[in-house]
Chain A
Amino acid sequence: MSTVAEKLRQLRRDAGLDGVNNSPGVDGPAAKAPPSSPLFAPSMGLTLRAGLRRSCPLPSGTVGTFSRQREKEHRLHALRRLIRAREQTPLQSRRILPPPAGEEIAPGLHYVEAQFAYAASATLDVPAIDEAPIERNRLLCFDTETTGLAGGVGTRAFMIGVAAWADDVLTVRQLYLTTIAGERAMLETFANWLRPETILVSYNGKSYDAPLLKGRLRLNHVAHRLAELPHIDWLHPTRRVYKGHLPNCKLATIEREVLRIVREDDLPGSEAPAAWLAFLRGQSSTNLGRVLEHNRQDVITLMRLGDHFTQL
């Protein structure tokens, strides 16, 4: 009975019944047993490893900086071990590289502009839009380069390129981030380019670029009219016309096979995230320059596609 009583005491203590004695069948002293420290304190102060106590604040003055530093080192060491299984540690460099092109128009934001002769009719008959024909100078072809395809609010655009036509000249304007802090200025600048009469033009922008930008605009508290503007997405007519005739409906494919545009030394879009990260981490700016070229060609192609589909 004594072992049973002891077990009962333990069970009752663990169940938080200390000091309550109203259970028939349990001998009296059971409830009067000295309280033991519960195995799991209310905030089970869990640590994965011994030697790695939870970061309890140390009273200032009683402990020197040296041991506090050591404690921090211990914690960091344990965290590094935890994380090693999950991530590849990239090479770090604290160099700050000169941006590949353009001028700084806000802290962390660079701007590049280029103009190309583009003789074309002032109106376009686009089957995708009801109110045809439309004035070409309302079109704003846009394309973003992003940190990846994972989706969700953690994916951001680091570059936005637009192409607009006026008087036989195509003007390409590009924004890109040289620090993350420049994001808000980039989004504000882009939002200002959207006029009430603007018609957006993109390739897969309806389901990719526009929602992504909307999320980032919302996150940065930037007001915009992105949702209200008409939006022509060439992906859909491309699919209708070329599905089955071309190996796939990627922009690069239709550009090569249909528009017969040949790019030289083009950086594939999938390598854009790494190129920007390499720049941000001070490793290299070469490929970021190639991303600018790639993005510029993309928005020009968007305008060409308009003429292509009109002529079909």
Chain B
Amino acid sequence: MTIANEPALLESAPRSIERLVERWARKYGDRITGYFRRPAQPARFAEFPPGLSADLREALERRGISELYSHQREAWDHVQRGEHVVVVTPTASGKTLCYNLPVIEAVREAKAKALYLFPTKALAQDQVAELLELNSAGTLGLRAFTFDGDTPNDARQAIRIKGDIVVSNPDMLHQAILPHHTKWAQFFESLRYVVIDEVHTYRGVFGSHVANVIRRLRRVCAFYGVSPIFILCSATIGNPKEHAEALLGEAVHAITQSGAPCGERHVLLWNPPVINPDLGIRASARSQSMRLARHAIRAKMKTIVFAQSRLMVEILTKYLKDVFDHDPRKPARIRAYRGGYLPTERRETERALRGGHIDGVVSTSALELGVDIGALDVAILNGFPGSIAATWQRLGRAGRRQKPSLGVMVASSQALDQYVVRHPEFFDSAPPEQARIAPDQMLILLDHIRCAAFELPFTSGDAFGESRVDDYLEVLAESGVLHHEGERWDWIADSYPAGAVSLRSVADGNFVVVDRSDGRQTIIAEVDYSSAALTLYEGAIYMVQSSPYQVERLDWEGRKAFVTRTHADYYTDAIDYTKLKVLERFDGANAGRGTCHHGEVHVVRHVSGYKKIRFYSHENIGYGPVTLPDQELHTSALWWQLTQGTLESAFASRQEALDGFLGAAYALHTVASVRAMADGRDLQKAVGSGDAAWFATRDGNGRGQWRDAGGQPTDPEQADAFLPTLYLYDNFPGGMGLSEPLFRDAALLVREAMALVEGCDCTGGCPACIGPVSEADEISGATQRECAAAVLALLDA
């Protein structure tokens, strides 16, 4: 926005980006499966609206803003008409003024209040900093505060009463503001605007929760006699208007044309070279991303590398530091950034990035959102982020305003990655995926009706979102949390329901990582409950800024891991497996010569040990045992079964049938994830018996391994009963509704999986079709790919 503040453009920048692309194309042309150039866009301006006060105009002019971009003016005009709007424009297009202008004007002219919601604390803090900056540029007298879990108790009272703009997150609204709304009475009575940024992140389970929190917010607003206008912002998604309307439950005007200028954008799709054509094995995405990042940083490009996991962030950071940060006397040129680092460390990295002091940053999705990190030149994606929308969002972190930029998506060997990298047209012309939410999912709805009843009593016949609540109220009254009297339903229990409902996951308390090296006791990181079992087992190497720490003791109950600095030349990777048990079958149908079912399952995830993997060579140099409590989950699933008789007549051995099931599971999971689109990781696969008596995993060579309930490998031929079952399940307690529609389309899924397996270019199976297999398999009779195709054929109607 502040064009005047933009550092002078380096004349060489456009040419150097092009030179880099040319060099890569010359040297590695066969690895580039797609290349697009998005031309630069000139700015489109609009005049300040006539209703803008002189003070605000002056404050803007002092910051070098003398007119608005067209989308900022469009937002102003619609908001003044009392419409809800959603602004869908790229990063750094000056989205914040779209909401700050109407809000600041209303705060100053009408003593109105505004609530801003950001998905993360970091974004909220950014926002307040920006507001205060604008505030000090003029003398606007704005009082803007963050209100989050870090806000001290004595400051909260003042914020409730004095804050003009309160900047918070959905979790705080859910757990701290709405359940105490009478303390916020003054604030709610004057609430004119609610700003919700990054709404594309509110999808799936999280989004379904947030939609219900918004329903509760509107219910509380109605109690205080206000009906605020909602201003939403989103990164590019396929259905911004529809998604905003699903979140709000009301009509929303979508603003999709950005008036901000942007530089030319180069995008490359990169597939690592095949190193073993027989097995379809490609060089790792990591090795390619490393090479690209090295070249870019040497060419003096500010570079960001996105990795899919926290572990991969640490590995890539270490490798880049080994190249660029070997002189400890000089300030670090490479930094890592991810969830789990302490807030102070993350703020410091953000500042260093903005100041241009860092040449390369390696991040998880944590930097995908609008955290202000200044201008970067090159974005490298180590692996497909799972959706086209997220890909564009990450690529968008490079290139601001007039500067040209370069983005590279490096495909991993996973099926989904291979699938999309070979289809550049997805990136070039298809609109990104649609964000979807299911706010009326029964479990989620029940949770929020409980919270809503706590906040204000219900009356018979009331609606909550689209649903009438009477049934829910009746059941809640039966269980004693509500009291029914006449038409009223009042909260009566001695509990705080919002405390038991987490919007993001089954949070069961974070783990802190305590460094005990040299007698210290310093907290160096936090790890969420769900990944603790996979990263903090005793013996694990836990990395922070690529420095290895070894976990010496894990206090599971106390949620603490004690670590010491170490100089290990390896990292560790957990070995985990999953057992399923069918609790109840809701529906079933024939599937070819077998059956397909849908129902409720009990999932147990167990970490049995870990592998030690040497840096650089990636050879496996040892194992260690892990003893940790199992992670359990009740969820919904769909599953396929073939009878023992059918299998015995179709396969030479049980081993082959098992291999077939594992391969078929892999292919079905791929096609089901593509169909379920966004957040495919919410869907998981497993092969086992229906009663958790045994389950199957792949061994180090990709062969199926039959394990008994205790996890010990055994011979499938020795078992009395052999009824392998292939599961796809929702990775969310109570299910999030993925498996039921998949069950309805089960026949189609089987056919798509068959097409995937049969249409692959490999010989015996590869990561793009049935999953990784090893050479050893070639010796036996049928290839694993043939086995998988046979299982799928038996299931095909």
Q: Determine whether the beta carbon of B180 is less than 8 Å from that of A51.
A: no
- A164-195 Cβ-contact flags toward B at 8 Å (1 or 0): 00000000000000011100000000000000
Determine if B413 is an interface residue (Cβ-Cβ < 8 Å): no
- Give the distance to chain A from B528, nearest Cβ to Cβ, in Å: 23
Nearest to A89 among chain B residues (CB) is B479
How many angstroms from the CA of A148 to the CA of B183 in the assembled complex? 18
Interface centre among B180, B431, B493 (most CB of A within 10 A): B493
A:1-33 near B, CB below 8 Å: 2-4, 6-8, 10-12, 14-17, 20, 22-26
B423, B436, B438, B442: residue with the most chain A Cβ atoms closer than 10 Å: B442
- Count residues of chain B with CB under 8 A from any CB of chain A: 84
B755 and A16 within 8 A (CB): no
> Are A148 and B493 neighbours in the complex by a CB distance under 8 Å?
yes
Instruction: State whether the Cβ of A147 lies closer than 8 Å to any Cβ in chain B.
Output: yes
Q: List 17 A-B contacts (CB under 8 A).
A: A7-B755, A14-B674, A14-B675, A15-B388, A15-B431, A15-B677, A16-B431, A22-B429, A42-B239, A45-B440, A46-B440, A48-B442, A80-B478, A83-B479, A87-B480, A88-B479, A90-B480
**A3:B428 contact, CB within 8 angstroms:** no
With A42-B246, A152-B180: A50-B586 Cβ-Cβ less than 8 Å: yes
Q: A80-B475, A148-B493, A152-B179 are in contact. Are A11 and B426 (CB under 8 A)?
A: yes
A32 to chain B, nearest CB (A): 16
Cα separation A48 to B475 with both chains bound (whole Å): 16
Q: How far is the CA of A289 from the CA of B745 in the complex (A)?
A: 62
List 10 tightest A-B contacts by C-beta distance, closest first. A148-B494, A46-B737, A154-B454, A3-B759, A87-B479, A215-B182, A50-B586, A23-B429, A23-B425, A3-B755
Which residue of the partner chain B has the closest CB to A274? B494
**Interface mask (A278-312 → B, CB under 8 Å = 1, otherwise 0):** 00100000000000000000000000000000000
Residues on A with beta carbons closer than 8 Å to the beta carbon of B468: 55
**Set of chain A residues within 8 Å of B475, measured between Cβ atoms:** 76, 79-80, 83
Least distance between B254 CB and chain A CB atoms (Å): 14
In the complex, whether A151 has a CB less than 8 A from a CB of chain B is yes
B239 near A16 with CB under 8 A, answer yes
**Pair B490/A180 contact, Cβ less than 8 Å:** yes
**Distance of A7 from chain B, by nearest CB (Å):** 7
Residue of B whose beta carbon sits closest to that of A218 = B182
Given contacts A39-B741, A150-B493, A155-B494, could you give 10 more A-B pairs where the C-beta distance is less than 8 Å? A10-B674, A15-B388, A20-B429, A48-B442, A75-B471, A76-B471, A90-B479, A147-B493, A148-B493, A154-B179
Question: In the complex, what residues of A have CB within 8 A of residue B756's CB?
Answer: 3, 7
Among candidates A24, A40, A148, A155, residue contacting B425 with C-beta atoms closer than 8 Å: A24
A219 interface contact, C-beta 8 A? yes
> How far in angstroms is the closest Cβ of chain A from B470?
9
Contact yes or no, A150 B494, CB < 8 A: yes
CB A312 to nearest CB in B, in angstroms, measures 30
Residues of B near A2 (CB, < 8 A) are 759
Interface residues in A71-103 by Cβ distance below 8 A to B read 72, 75-76, 78-80, 82-84, 86-90, 92
- Please tell me if A69 contacts chain B, counting CB pairs below 8 Å: no
Which residues of B from 408 to 453 have beta carbons under 8 Å from A? 419, 423-426, 428-434, 436-438, 440-443, 446, 453
With A39-B675, A55-B468 as contacts: A273 and B431 at CB distance below 8 Å:
no
Q: Mark A114-130, 1 if CB is under 8 A from B, else 0.
A: 00000000000000000
Known A-B contacts A3-B758, A47-B740; the reply to A82 vs B430 at CB < 8 A is: no
Which of chain B's residues have a CB closer than 8 A to the CB of A40?
436, 676-677, 741
How many A-B pairs have beta carbons closer than 8 Å: the answer is 204
In B207-244, the 8 Å CB interface with A consists of 238-239, 242
**A206-238 near B? 1/0 per residue, CB < 8 Å:** 000001001110110000000000000000000
- Contact present for A55 and B388 (CB under 8 Å): no
Does A54 make an interface contact (CB < 8 A)? Answer: yes
A150: B residues at CB distance < 8 A: 493-496
Q: Does residue A70 face the partner (Cβ distance < 8 Å to B)?
A: no
Does A262 touch B at the CB level, under 8 Å?
A: no
Is A39 a contact partner of B480 (Cβ separation < 8 A)?
A: no
Q: Taking the nearest CB of chain A, how far is it from the CB of B500, in angstroms?
A: 8
The CA of A88 and the CA of B430, in the complex, are separated in Å by 51
CB-defined contacts of B488 to chain A, threshold 8 Å: 180-181
Chain A facing B: main interface SS:
loop
Residues of A within 8 A of B498 (CB): 152
Q: Tell whether B519 is near chain A: CB-to-CB under 8 Å.
A: no
A48 touches B636 (CB 8 A): yes
Provide the residues of chain B in CB contact with A149, threshold 8 Å: 494
Which chain A residues numbered 39 to 65 have a C-beta less than 8 Å away from chain B? 39-40, 42-52, 54-55
Question: When the two chains form their complex, are residues B480 and A17 in contact, meaning their CB atoms are under 8 A apart?
Answer: no
Residues of B bordering A, CB below 8 Å: 179-183, 185, 238-239, 242, 246, 388, 419, 423-426, 428-434, 436-438, 440-443, 446, 453-456, 466-468, 471-472, 474-476, 478-481, 483, 485-486, 488, 490-498, 500, 586-587, 598, 600, 636, 671, 674-677, 734-737, 740-742, 745, 752, 755-756, 758-759
A34 to chain B, nearest CB (A): 13
Contact flag A277-B492 (CB < 8 Å), given A15-B388, A152-B180: yes
What residues of A have a CB within 8 angstroms of the CB of B495 in the complex?
148, 150
In the complex, chain B residues whose CB is within 8 Å of the CB of A51: 586-587
Q: Contacts of B675 on A, CB cut-off 8 Å?
A: 10, 14, 39
| A11 x B674 contact (CB < 8 A) | yes
CA distance A23 to B498 in the complex (A): 48
Q: From the candidates A86, A92, A153, A211, name the one contacting B179 in the complex (CB within 8 A).
A: A153
A148 to B759, CA, bound (A): 64
Residues of A in contact (CB 8 Å), total 70
Specify which chain B residues have a CB less than 8 angstroms from the CB of A7 in the assembled complex: 419, 671, 674, 752, 755-756
* Given A6-B755, A10-B675, A50-B587, A78-B494 contact (CB < 8 Å): no
| A14, A22, A50 interface centre (most CB from chain B within 10 Å) | A50
Q: A23–B429 Cα gap in the complex (Å)?
A: 6
Pairwise interchain contact A273-B246, C-beta atoms closer than 8 A: no
Give min CB distance, B480 to chain A, whole Å: 4
In the bound complex, CA of A92 to CA of B479 (Å) = 10
CB of B440 within 8 A of CB of A54, answer yes
Q: Which residue of A lies closest to B176 (CB)?
A: A152
Central interface residue in A3, A16, A46, A86, by most chain B CB within 10 Å: A46
The reply to whether B480 and A89 form a contact with Cβ atoms under 8 Å apart is: yes
Within the complex, what minimum Cβ distance (angstroms) separates B193 from chain A?
23
B471 touches A218 (CB 8 A): no
CA distance A50 to B638 in the complex (A): 12
Whether the pair B496, A151 counts as a contact (CB closer than 8 A) is yes
What A residues does B246 contact at CB under 8 A?
Answer: 42-43
How far is B475's CA from A217's CA once the two chains are assembled, in angstroms?
29
Q: Are B388 and A72 in contact (CB under 8 A)?
A: no
A8 touches B471 (CB 8 A): no
Which residue on A lies nearest to B496, using beta carbons?
A: A150
- Shortest beta-carbon distance from B183 to chain A in Å: 7
- When A46-B441, A50-B587, A153-B180 are in contact, do A16 and B455 touch as well, CB less than 8 Å? no
CB <8 Å contact, A152 and B454: yes
B419: which A residues are within 8 A, CB to CB? 7
Give chain B residues whose Cβ lies under 8 Å from the Cβ of A280. 483, 492
Instruction: Pick the contact of B471: A79, A84, A155, A216 (CB < 8 A).
Output: A79
Q: Is the beta-carbon distance between A23 and B428 smaller than 8 angstroms? A: yes
Which residues of A129-156 have CB atoms within 8 Å of chain B's CB atoms? 147-155
Residues of B within 8 A of A12 (CB): 430
Q: How far is the CA of A2 from the CA of B754 in the complex (A)?
A: 13
Task: Determine the chain A residues whose CB is within 8 A of the CB of B736 once the complex forms.
Answer: 46
Cβ of A8 to closest chain B Cβ, rounded Å: 6
A76 touches B474 (CB 8 A): yes
Instruction: Determine how close the nearest CB of chain B comes to the CB of A136; give it in whole angstroms.
Output: 32
The answer to whether B478 and A92 touch across the interface, beta carbons within 8 angstroms, is yes
CA distance A92 to B68 in the complex (A): 64
A82 touches which one: B433, B442, B454 (CB < 8 A)? B442
A217's nearest neighbour on chain B, judged by CB, is B182
B471 adjacent to A153 (CB under 8 Å): no
Q: Give Cα A52 to B443, complex, Å.
A: 13
